[in-house]
Structure 1
Amino acid sequence: MASYDRSIEQVHEAYRRLTHEQLILFLKVRSLPTSGSDSELASRLAQFDIHTYHFPSKDGQSGRETPEEGHDASKPRARVPDLPVEVLAEIMDHVGDWELAKAVGVPTSLPQPIPWTRANACDHAILTGYIPLIRAADPATNRPTKVSAVLAVRFSYVNVLEYLFTYHRSVFLSMYSDDLLPVTASLHGRTAVLSWWKHTRTHHPDVIPMPKPESIADAVDGASRNGQVASLDWWIDSGFPFEYTEAALESASAKNRIAVLDWWKEKSLSPRYRLQLKIGRVMDMASTAGHVEALEWWASSQLEPKYDRQALYHASCHGKVEVLQWWLGSGLQMIFDQEALTGASRHNRPEVLEWWDKSGLPIQYRMCDIEEALEDAIGGGEQAREWWRRKGVDFNANDKEWSKLQYLN
């Protein structure tokens, strides 16, 4: 039974290294429910694999007891075969994570990331998370580089961090200078690493310094950008000053992190926290990225985000017709000028020009501005130029018409 427990822990540890999106992928492959926290998802995968696949123990026997064992040893017992390595390799290639594939020992056709081409033997040992290999690589001589410092945190290798801090302290402090550890852990939602770091700092305050305010802001802003609500929860209850900038909500909006936006609003309304939100240019960021869901969230949030002509300008430049349509039907004031048409022309967006033409909005343009934009257009701007020709614009007009401000429709 002890071997069974070890197997569960090893499999669970492997799944804890995955991101939320990767956990969801593996759950879908196994037709398992995808609701719950990352910890619950990892546990669900581990339990499924332990009860489905064969995990040999040291003596070569099955790593778990079954009801059939001990009753009729002569009767053959059927078991589900291991998932073929080719299938695992295909899944890993689909995930597109070379580090993860190497860490779990699955063959991959993915190219080695450029930072790993400069990695040393100790970096590759840390990739496995296996202490005897790391010890054999001699961190004191082959000092780990930043690539494995980040990886150890990303994969929540608390055992590796503890080993390096205990037996190679100068190496550890060099690896994790400038608050790299808490910032990286926050980006990846590794609250176990954050808790280990805080605990270690509590016992060694003379060795691990207080994080700088700007580092905490980087950690919180980055957690918002990456959708790591668990990291946000950790920081707000950590006892450290809770620092953040406008980038927290701006990047969450740009990435369509609705759960993060909900978290910030909830904490701003909570009597316990009463966070003062730094809203910034959230509508501009969501419009540029084409996230109608985030725009809708802000419009119904009762938080009154500020915006200006940049929202529609950037949506026009980036070809986000669905965003333009959302603004038209939102009931919010639409702020725009002729730069929207100039930007759409410069970025060769005939579909945007068509939308503005059909919108009925009183937008204006100057031929001289459009011609200048088309001359500088991305990819030559032929599609946008052709749209203007079909519109009936004569680029050989006289000087008066050339500089005249006129309505598109």
Structure 2
Amino acid sequence: MASYPKFSHRMTSIRSSTSLSDPSSLKRKLHLLVVASGPRDTSWALTLVVRLSKNPQIEARAIVDDVVPRLTQTIIVMQNQSLAPGQTDHADDVEFYRQQAFELVKWADLMVCVPLDSDGISKMLAGAADTFLGEVLRGWDVTKNIILVPGMSTQMWSNPLTKRQLSKLHRKWNWIRVVTPITWHYEGEPNAKRVPNWNGFNEVLTIIKNQAELLGLGRDVEIATGMALIGDIDANVQSKLPPEIWTIILDYTGDWELAKALGIYTNLPMPPPWTHHPREPHNELQVYDHDLEWTVLTGDSAAICKKISQSPPGFRDLPAQVVRLVIRFALIDVLAYLEANRPDLFKAFDGPTLPTKASAYYPRTDVLDYWKQSAWFRENHIYDAEAVDIASKNGHVRILDWWWRKQSVEFRTCNIEEALEDSIGDQNKVRRWWAQNGLNLGLRNEEWMKTRYL
């Protein structure tokens, strides 16, 4: 008797695909705000900006104490200014910088302070807003992260006050991540020379690139125009087709990842960014990242959790590839394990990431249920417009039903109409859903732009 494979609940859909027709949905870049405080401490910020300047996923701006020509030739740069009374010529100048700070906070997705000196850290903790940078830090949206590289002398770094400040940041300011500091000392007599020391540049670079990849998750996904969905169940599904037929089906859909996840042979080539070997085989973290990605793709939840428990000491960021696969294949047990045991890694799903990606690009109501019920998100259910707008564009009626039943969500008629006009395949089902749930495309202009709620 023929032996047919058993498929786990990872098998969620079989796709006949067509690429996104609107390239604008692929253009969203990570908005990076680079900060450097200190009159002689712009060099690392400059090096970072230059390294990132050719990355198509990142757009950077900077606030620095010391403006250097090379930096202004690369990105938009604003000089940090005092806003204290009597320190500026006109009240209009203060208002200008406050407006600029307000706009920057709205614009930025991530701030990297490289470095923030001891004075800047102290003022930030005290809530002082007497400088342009202080205004930005005081108004920062705490749903967005800040990467903080402290910059100070070795004596300041070892001072108990510094340890107390860092402890407060760690315990209460969880949107700020403190990484390896830039420290310096002085050598030589009689004209002592400052000698800086920092070995955290690659760490910061990796964090930024990973954040850019997380932001772009799903925007290059192929959209299904037809799906054979299998319910969100824990039991294995007994296939009624021999493996050879599944190979033909998966080759036709072009879904190499799904074939690998199900253990089905495929003739499809391995797509980027997948590789058989890590780029730097002597780099312990890169080797681990590579192995973890393959474990998440091909292993069960127990194997994945075990692999995570064996992570090296320096492993502090889930690769974007892992985040994507956990959402795509609804690895709920892995999410629960990370939330309970590795909250530092679980932060990769923080903010709008989980509900937006599970709605717009990888339609998974079970992931949305987890997000709704999780203690981590209980007081902080954040989502963005993509959750409903792109779900409408991609025809995910199940997702729209979920939002309508379980979570009040805001929308604008103009955005939904635009999404429907750009939608893939047959629009009728999604249009009928919206018509049945309050969308009126015959509104006047002022009503068309108004925020409404499902």
TM-score by length of 2: 0.41
- Greater relative contact order structure (CA < 8 Å, 6+ sep): 2
Higher strand share: 2
Between structure 1 and structure 2, the one with the greater Rg is 1
Greater fraction of residues in helix: 1
